Amino acid sequence: MKSRFSAKDDFLKEKTVDNSSQCQAKTAVLLTNLGSPEQPTPGALRRYLRQFLSDPRVVEIPRFIWMIILHGIILRIRPKKSAKLYQSVWTEKGAPLLVISQAQKEKVAARLAQQYGDDVIVDVAMRYGEPAINSVLQKFQQQGVDNLVVLPLYPQYAGPTTASTFDAVSGELQKWRYVPSLHFINSYHNNSHYIKALANTVSEHLAKQGTPDKLVLSYHGMPELFHQWGDPYYDFCQITTDLLKAELSTRSLGLSDDDFVMTFQSRFGKAKWLQPYTDETLANLAQNGHTHIAIISPAFSADCLETLEELEHENRDIFMQAGGQEYHYIAALNDRDDHIDALVNILAPALTKL
């Protein structure tokens, strides 16, 4: 008769054999973005904003004080207002960001399948809302993933976006018995393919609409204190701007160095944020006789509320009411082929050993 120890050893050997036969070495690519509410309703916005604004990476003030403000004031007022804004950009297929992100995933997956066959699987997840990062990672776990590559679709690293994504990924992986190898891509603000894709959108727009008085590069805002505390986001935005200017200078588009304006949008609360502010800049440009502007947001890899409503409509009204005559929003890179080329190029170093 076998001892209870030898019987246990046999059981473990059997489990090891069973698991090894199922766990083929696979690489998973996870594309992530911020997320959207499930529906453009006050209830859905309340759930979404509760998750988003409870993230300590997003709001860095004492938790006790912030929770009182969040639950006592913001979640009582903001969901209804935000729901109306989301309703203005909602599509038949759902939130624009989710729809575009799925299209990006499908195109990246198709491109990687051509190169690696079934060895690489691709999926998309949202930091807030659905599909959630933890649920997609758990699906990878069930598929026997041995290598994990995470690409947050924020070109310029920032603590509230990129680092928060890392928190969510690492938080899930900490629960796993077997942790796969991990390659986390934290920024691609200076990737040449990304810069050329941005330049292509500007070139195509100018070919149709003519050269504007100013080309405004509007990045998502951030509290200035974050920059003072060491967040490199502002510096990365400046690098992207400089590289885009250099690329466009080779294309004979009639834009001089002074025709580029870098600004920051979407500020929240009363704290001082990165400047100059997009809305104030647009009003000043119009008042100073620059009546034709084009605006692009290099920080957004996909169109969303901040571009389709804030830049396309709200800021257009500000510019036109201040005396502007011609205002053009240049769409985000979305699922353009040159953008997919850039994303595949960004992923390539993490896939070279396959």
Helical (H) or strand (E) element with 293:
strand 292-296
Query: What single letter denotes the amino acid at residue 77?
Result: I
Give the pLDDT of residue 25: 61
In sequence order, which ranges of 117-163 are alpha helices (DSSP H)?
A: 133-142
> What gap in Å lies between CA 188 and CA 348, rounded to an integer?
12
Choice between 18 and 40, residue whose per-residue pLDDT is larger:
40
* Percentage, residues of the chain above pLDDT 70: 92
Instruction: Quick: pLDDT tens for 226-264.
Output: 999 999 999 999 999 999 999 999 998 989 999 999 999
DSSP, res 94: B
CA triplet 224, 165, 167: central angle to 5 degrees? 95
Cis check: omega of the bond before 276, within 30 degrees of 0: yes
> What gap in Å lies between CA 324 and CA 292, rounded to an integer?
7
Give the pLDDT of residue 21: 35
Query: How many CB atoms sit inside 10 A of residue 77's CB?
Result: 9
> What gap in Å lies between CA 150 and CA 309, rounded to an integer?
29
What is residue 151's three-state secondary structure? strand
> What gap in Å lies between CA 215 and CA 212, rounded to an integer?
7
Q: How would residue 354 be classed by pLDDT, with cut points 50, 70 and 90?
A: low
> What gap in Å lies between CA 304 and CA 283, rounded to an integer?
23
Instruction: Return all residues near 113 (Cβ < 8 A) that are at least 6 apart.
Output: 120
Q: What are the tokens at 162?
A: 């990129």
Give the pLDDT of residue 36: 96
Torsion of CA 226, 232, 237, 238, to 10 degrees: 110
Instruction: Quick: pLDDT tens for 58-83.
Output: 999 999 999 999 999 999 999 999 99
Give the pLDDT of residue 24: 60
What residues are paired with 148 via a beta bridge? Answer: 28, 182
202: buried, middle or exposed (CB in 10 Å: 19+, 13-18, 0-12)?
buried
Q: List own/partner pairs for 205-211 with CB under 8 A and 24 or more apart.
A: 205/294, 205/328, 205/330, 206/253, 206/254, 206/255, 206/294, 209/294, 209/326, 209/328, 210/292, 211/253, 211/254, 211/255
> What gap in Å lies between CA 350 and CA 122, rounded to an integer?
14
Closest CA to 199 of 246, 234, 236: 246
Helical (H) or strand (E) element with 294:
strand 292-296
> What gap in Å lies between CA 329 and CA 239, rounded to an integer?
22
Report pTM: 0.91
Q: How would residue 270 be classed by pLDDT, with cut points 50, 70 and 90?
A: confident
Torsion of CA 56, 262, 153, 159, to 10 degrees: -20
Instruction: Quick: pLDDT tens for 251-261.
Output: 989 899 999 99
- Kindly state the average pLDDT of the residues 100-118: 96
Instruction: Quick: pLDDT tens for 168-199.
Output: 999 999 999 999 999 999 999 999 999 999 99
Instruction: Quick: pLDDT tens for 340-349.
Output: 999 999 999 9
DSSP, res 73: I
> What gap in Å lies between CA 180 and CA 197, rounded to an integer?
32
Residue 7 has pLDDT above 50, yes or no: no
Q: Would you say 220 and 306 are in contact if contact means Cβ atoms under 8 Å apart?
A: yes
What is residue 217's three-state secondary structure? strand
DSSP, res 221: P
